[in-house]
């Protein structure tokens, strides 16, 4: 199974000061040396982290394929078609959300979606749809003629977090706060089973299967058992962990300068 690293959260830190530190581009070679197979970034309509220039720079400097997440908003799709990443993952987007909260609402009569897919294909960009793990969403994805689907693991991650650490991956999107531990476990098992069944179905239909959202160093182990999933896109937990892998050395480096 391949790992795609979502580096948006490096840009979140940079945007907090609006200076070029940390330099987004420095992440690319580290991802490559560490064995990642893909760089994933999300050009949000509100540009809260990744900026247009970042996408240009990432595409110019990344030796790894670039998976660009975006909404099906026509002006964004035009930008993506011009920039030609290796793959575009179409995601739902709400300005008020903290992170992508659910899968794309897809149907075969959604003209915005159909136009977006057509334009991207005309520009020779592979298309992935970020969907909830349901039979209907996978079958519709097949009908829409995309190459990839990415299964939204957010609900699985929230249930896992609430059951084992009392911490969903994002509090913002959680609807299951009132469930007992027994109910949480039942829901978690059901969600995992659903992810497995849907991955099998997608593969049978000839779709390539990715998954992601809220995956971390605890909950990823059950997901990697699903052999039909070819790729995981993981961001927040990797960037969060890198702070503590690097904080000690960063303090030592500064202390040397301060103490001489």
Residue 41 beta carbon to ligand PXP: minimum distance, rounded to whole angstroms: 9
Least spacing, CB of residue 212 vs ligand PXP, in Å: 3
Contact status, residue 14 vs residue 24, Cβ threshold 8 Å = yes
Measured CA to CA, the distance from residue 130 to residue 152 in angstroms comes to 6
Contact 159, 191 (CB under 8 A): yes
Q: Which of residues 218 and 254 has its CB atom nearest to ligand PXP in the complex? A: 218
Rounded CA separation 9/201 (Å): 32
Cα–Cα distances (Å) from 183 to 42, 113, 154, in that order, read 34, 36, 18
Which residue in the list 42, 49, 152, 169 is annotated as catalytic?
A: 42
Q: Which of 69, 101, 150, 231 is catalytic?
A: 69
Nearer to ligand PXP, 161 or 235 (CB): 235
Per-residue buried b or exposed e for 209-227, using 16+ beta carbons within 10 Å of the residue's own CB? bbbbbbbbeebbeebeebe
Residue ranges binding ligand PXP (CB under 6 A) = 6, 8, 42, 69, 89, 91, 99-100, 130, 150, 212-215, 233-237
- Tell me which of 49, 152, 169, 213 is the catalytic residue: 213
Catalytic (active site) residue 86: no
Catalytic residue check, 42: yes
Catalytic: 172? Answer: no
- How far apart CA 202 and CA 129 sit, in angstroms, is 12
Nearer to ligand PXP, 54 or 150 (CB): 150
Min dist CB 197 to ligand PXP, Å, is 20
Burial of 20 (0-12, 13-18, 19+ CB in 10 A): exposed
The backbone torsions φ and ψ at residue 210, rounded to the nearest 5 degrees and listed phi first, read -115, 170
Rounded to a whole number of angstroms, the minimum distance from the CB of residue 248 to ligand PXP is 24
Phi-psi region of 18 (alpha: psi -120 to 50; beta: other; left: phi over 0): left
Which residue, 56, 30, 19, 20, is CA-closest to 41? Answer: 56
- Closest CB to ligand PXP among residues 178, 230: 230
Q: How far is the CB of 182 from ligand PXP (least distance, A)?
A: 27
Which residue, 38 or 183, is less far from ligand PXP as judged by CB?
38
Q: Which residues are catalytic?
A: 42, 69, 213
């Amino acid at each position: 199974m391949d790992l795609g690293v979502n580096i948006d959260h490096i840009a979140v830190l940079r945007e907090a000061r609006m200076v070029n530190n940390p330099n987004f581009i420095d992440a690319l070679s580290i991802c490559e040396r560490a064995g990642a197979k893909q760089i994933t970034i999300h050009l949000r309509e509100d540009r809260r982290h990744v900026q247009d220039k970042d996408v240009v720079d990432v595409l110019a400097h990344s030796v790894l394929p670039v998976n660009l997440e975006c909404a099906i908003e026509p002006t964004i799709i035009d930008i993506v078609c011009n920039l030609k990443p290796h793959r575009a993952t179409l995601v739902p987007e709400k300005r008020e959300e903290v992170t992508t909260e659910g899968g794309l609402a897809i149907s075969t009569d959604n003209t915005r979606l159909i136009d977006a897919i057509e334009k991207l294909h005309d520009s020779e960009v592979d298309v992935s749809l970020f969907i909830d793990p349901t039979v209907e969403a996978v079958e519709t994805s097949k009908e829409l003629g995309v190459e990839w689907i990415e299964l939204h693991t957010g609900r699985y991650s929230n249930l896992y977090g609430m059951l084992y650490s009392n911490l969903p991956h994002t509090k913002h999107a959680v609807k299951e706060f009132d469930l007992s531990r027994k109910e949480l476990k039942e829901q978690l098992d059901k969600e995992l089973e659903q992810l497995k069944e849907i991955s099998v179905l997608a593969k049978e239909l000839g779709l390539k299967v990715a998954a992601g959202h809220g995956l971390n160093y605890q909950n990823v182990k059950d997901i990697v058992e699903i052999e039909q999933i070819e790729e995981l896109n993981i961001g927040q937990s990797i960037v969060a962990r890198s702070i503590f892998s690097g904080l000690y050395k960063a303090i030592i480096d500064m202390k040397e300068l301060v103490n001489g």
